[in-house]
Chains A and B, each alone.
Chain A
């Protein structure tokens, strides 16, 4: 009976090691506590009605940022743990470990989780947040094509986040196979625990959310642009997002299918990738990388779009060679689908196959270089303001270029035979993902923050964070390239001290600490800006003298984005409007979607099913599935999904807003320095304690 109810769950599944207890407190209990405090302060109705059930892509975007930011901290902690183990391994053995402070198996779980978290939950989360918030504003749409799919996609993503943190509380193990869980290592034969199952379902549930979001974004961009905005007039961030989403719908189904096949092997004893009875593990490698390679371009194309916007705006010039930029993005999209084998040149496919994929990989460098030259041409004869987004751009260029060059070296099969799975490879892709995707996200957030919040970010602390990232990155990853050339393999939990690698690992750990300071400073930057928001307020909605439509709205925009959707006649429509005046159009009734809890309910049922499948709790799996179907049917037959905001109501809302804007006046004062922030924070903390003492009648 107990087995029927609980499947493979036992009391051994509960946390009983230092890291599972720590993880449960830090990543399950702490967020719950934060939510509880929020409910206490603002009320459950506010949280549920204004945020959780919201279909407003602006709200959903902010929620993506918050979850992704939280996972950035966890992924970063994983990285520090990895570096610490590798720095300590030859000279210490503590906490019961044979080398360093982690057992080999635990170490392997940490870097696996690190990879999954950073790719699926940090990078995808931030990118989707930005696309959600900004793309509708840029194309003059009021919402995405399907507000329901939007909230569903977000909550499925949260389901994935929950799943990847769940194992701390129940089960105590994650996959120890590397972030893509190659077969047959991930088969039941070699990974009998629940770790790989948690891996499968955290990726599967968020992957399906991503596919739905991809369909949604494509529908929106292709069908909901403002009148007159042809494809060739769209802003480049929208283009980057469109290309990225086309790739999403092209390759995420491959991931979905492959994960199902792996699940079938493990749950039903099938033989797709097993070593016996006809399984073909090499097929898994092919399938997973057919998804895996385009995935990294999914992440970087919106970043390229962000940089195009940033460079154009702060150079006060239209982007040079717009056509080449679009064609280059499409080129990257197309070619990204034809290079997957370069991830396993060493599996033995033969010279012709290897050489073909090597050449295709080099071809991708061409459109990327074109983008780079396009940015140079844009800055040429511009008048460049070196705000933080521009600094992130300059940091991106150098680091991404190094990553790109190391990528071309790796694309040569005989060179790859020496570099495959070495730290050279790890340094290569981190240069591209950190330099390209993460710096793009940082640039985008600093650039569009005034739009999100109504006040801009503190530049001073932001710069300090930037330099911490640059110095930390160089200290962490340049030695990593060297270690690769010295013959160091990735994922080693220990190594012989006679190799001479330890000083390099120590340097990498120190670099990681510096990056951690950078991340902390970024969090401080946001808080300090909030404290100083009256000094940093954005009164016009257009703090950077922007060129694209999102800057023609209030900061933050009202729920309907803009009262009137203007007719577009040029690229960079705002430049045209500022020159010749904004179009005067009468107000019309607007149809806005209602909030809905369907997304939450469906995602919750899906999560229950996935969790049940990890632990073989069959009744719960079926119940969850039934729940998904029932909630889905209930939603699709719900006819009351929209309400109307009449033209008169809009007129009043706009008038009130303009009045409030007129009253806004930025207070004078410089951006807070880090020292000033520390003083304020200490005073606040002391005040909390002081208040407590006073309340207890001292």
Chain B
């Protein structure tokens, strides 16, 4: 039973790998079509900048990675046993050249430097607190994450919503994020920009802008209990006048987000349908913050107010 087996040649293996990966790519690309590739489908300036940044970084990485990987696999193939004659005498190990050592340290360091030089300013301009257009007055929306829904309060329009937020296009929006009786959640509308945590006793500021009309999915990107996967909301970007019309429409709806209603919302629930409130206590958000901050010393509230703008 000992037939002489031929080992699969390197060429065959290489072809199989190429065809396999190629086939996988074709399958994946065809499956992606027609779907929302959220990180590429940037519908706002912030998301767009973030996408460009990611692409630039990947390109720079490929510039060093592809030749390096090719060099490694090529070296392995070139110096395989069957391709190399055994040495007639055992050579003394040669002294590694200083050139070689310097090169293998210098090249990665240079690439790291380039990436760092791109990253540092980007981290500042794309910081969530960074105001998008100093000339324009942003629309402020206060967000309270609860188990397992999102409550949106429009302090200037005096309305509130659950699991639905509408913003006018081309208008910078300042989301003020906090939480109530909930673990940390992460406020995320991928088509419009990156995420930011909403936590009890803290307020985080996320600046976004929507530049294309449409309905976009928002969610919590941080696990916060059994209802985590249902904590979705719709973010609608509409023309300015449609937004104003919507606000006045909500004001006619008649529901009020008063203390009793708010307590009902605080109870854990999942899959809350979009709800609209014509009126809301103007200091509801501040009361939520105070509820937790008063548990620190008096100083904590004062210093954290610096986050308020």
Q: Do chains A and B touch in the complex (CB under 8 A)?
A: yes
- Which residue in A275, A413, A504 is a CB contact (below 8 Å) of B123? A413
B93 touches A372 (CB 8 A): no
B137-162: CB near A (< 8 Å → 1, else 0) gives: 00000000000000000000000000
CA distance A323 to B97 in the complex (A): 12
Contact A412 B295 (CB under 8 A): no
Contact status of A418 and B119, CB under 8 A, knowing A351-B124, A409-B57, A474-B24: no
What are the residues of chain B within 8 A of A365 when measuring CB–CB?
Answer: 108, 112
Contact digits for B22-54, partner A, Cβ 8 Å, 1 yes 0 no: 001001100110111111100000010111011
- Residue in contact with A479 in the complex, picked from B28, B104, B182, B223, CB distance below 8 Å: B28
A408→B108 contact, CB < 8 A: no
Please tell me which one of the listed residues A320, A370, A394, A419 contacts residue B73 in the complex, with CB atoms under 8 A apart: A394
Q: Is B65 an interface residue (CB 8 A)?
A: yes
B119 CB contacts on chain A under 8 angstroms: 355, 358-359, 362, 411-413
| Interface: B242 (CB within 8 A) | no
User: Which residues of A have CB within 8 Å of B108?
Assistant: 365-366, 369-370, 373
- Of B28, B71, B184, B225, which contacts A281 at CB under 8 A? B184
Restricting to A409-425, which residues have a CB under 8 Å from any CB of B?
409, 411-422
Q: In the complex, how many angstroms separate the beta carbon of B124 from the nearest chain A beta carbon?
A: 4
| Cross-chain contact A184 with B96 (CB below 8 angstroms) | no
Residues of A within 8 A of B69 (CB): 397-398, 401
B290 at the interface (CB under 8 A from A): no
Closest to B37 in A: A486
Q: Is A421 a contact partner of B28 (Cβ separation < 8 A)?
A: no
B236 proximal to A (CB < 8 A): no
Bound Cα distance A380, B65 (Å)? 18
Please tell me if A96 contacts chain B, counting CB pairs below 8 Å.
no
Number of A residues near B (Cβ < 8 Å) is: 103
Task: Chain A residues near B191: list those with CB within 8 A.
Answer: 487
Q: Say whether B90 contacts A346, CB under 8 Å.
A: no
User: Contact between B186 and A405 (Cβ–Cβ < 8 Å)?
Assistant: no
Q: Is B214 an interface residue (CB 8 A)?
A: no
Do residues A374 and B39 form an inter-chain contact, with CB atoms below 8 A? no
Contact with A along B3-39 (1 / 0, CB 8 A): 0010000000000000011001001100110111111
CB of A41 within 8 A of chain B? no
> Could you tell me the distance in whole angstroms from the C-beta of A87 to the nearest C-beta in chain B?
14
A178 sits at the interface (CB 8 A): yes
Provide the bound-state CA to CA distance between A281 and B192, in Å. 28
Contacts of B292 in A (CB 8 A): 275-276
B110's closest neighbor in chain A, by CB? A366
Cβ B58 vs Cβ A324 within 8 A? no
B279 → A minimal CB distance (Å): 28
Cβ proximity bits B170-184 to A, threshold 8 Å, 1 near / 0 not: 000000000001111
Minimum CB–CB distance from B35 to chain A (whole Å) comes to 3
Task: Give chain B residues whose Cβ lies under 8 Å from the Cβ of A62.
Answer: none
Q: Is A475 an interface residue (CB 8 A)?
A: yes
Measured between beta carbons, the chain A residues less than 8 angstroms from B21 are 474, 478
Tell me the chain A residues, 388-435 only, with Cβ under 8 Å from chain B. 390, 394, 397-398, 401, 405, 408-409, 411-422
Q: Which of A104, A324, A347 contacts B197 (CB 8 A)?
A: A347
Number of interface residues of B (CB under 8 A): 100
Q: A185–B184 contact, CB under 8 A?
A: yes
A144 vs chain B, min Cβ distance (A):
31
Q: A-facing mask of B259-287, CB < 8 A → 1, else 0? A: 00000000000000000000000000000
Q: Collect the chain A residues with CB atoms within 8 Å of residue B127's CB.
A: 350-351, 354, 413-414
Check if A385 is an interface residue, CB within 8 A of chain B: yes
Report yes or no: A275 in contact with B200, Cβ–Cβ below 8 A: yes
- Within 8 Å of chain B (Cβ to Cβ): is A270? no
Q: Does B305 sit within 8 A of A, measured CB to CB?
A: no
A363 touches B112 (CB 8 A): yes
* CB pair A405 B126 closer than 8 Å: no
Complex CA distance for A278 and B217, rounded to whole angstroms? 35
Cα distance, A579 to B92, chains bound together (Å): 11
Residue of A nearest to B147 (CB): A190
Asked whether A417 and B39 contact (CB < 8 A) given A321-B100, A365-B112, A670-B5, the answer is: no
Separation of A465 and B101 alpha carbons in the complex (Å): 37
Given A278-B296, A485-B39: A408 touches B57 (CB 8 Å cut-off):
yes
Residues of chain A lying within 8 A (CB to CB) of residue B243: none
Q: How far is the CA of A485 from the CA of B190 in the complex (A)?
A: 10
- The interface centre, meaning the residue of B61, B87, B183 with most chain A CB atoms within 10 A of its CB, is B183
In the complex the two chains form, is A178's CB within 8 Å of B223's CB? yes
For chain A residues 324-369, which have a beta carbon within 8 Å of chain B?
324, 344, 346-348, 350-352, 354-355, 358-359, 362-363, 365-366, 369
Within 8 A of A (CB), among B81-103: 81, 84, 86-87, 90, 93, 96, 100-101, 103
- Residues of A that sit less than 8 Å from B by CB: 103-105, 108, 176-178, 182-185, 187, 190, 275-279, 281-282, 315, 317-318, 320-321, 323-324, 344, 346-348, 350-352, 354-355, 358-359, 362-363, 365-366, 369-370, 372-377, 379-386, 390, 394, 397-398, 401, 405, 408-409, 411-422, 471, 474-475, 478-479, 482, 484-487, 489, 491-495, 499-501, 503-504, 507, 579, 669-670
11 residue pairs A–B, Cβ–Cβ below 8 Å: A176-B226, A275-B201, A323-B101, A346-B195, A362-B115, A366-B109, A386-B81, A417-B50, A420-B186, A487-B191, A507-B27
Known A321-B100, A348-B128, A352-B124; 17 more pairs at CB < 8 Å: A103-B226, A183-B183, A185-B223, A281-B183, A317-B93, A347-B184, A350-B129, A351-B127, A374-B104, A383-B81, A384-B84, A409-B58, A414-B123, A415-B54, A418-B194, A485-B37, A486-B38
The 6 A-B residue pairs whose C-beta atoms are closest, nearest first, are A417-B194, A487-B38, A500-B35, A414-B126, A369-B108, A185-B183
User: Which positions in B face A, CB cutoff 8 Å?
Assistant: 2, 5, 20-21, 24, 27-28, 31-32, 34-40, 47, 49-51, 53-54, 57-58, 61-62, 64-65, 68-69, 71-73, 75-76, 79-81, 84, 86-87, 90, 93, 96, 100-101, 103-105, 107-109, 112, 115-116, 118-120, 122-124, 126-130, 181-184, 186, 188, 190-191, 193-197, 199-202, 204, 217, 219-229, 292, 295-297
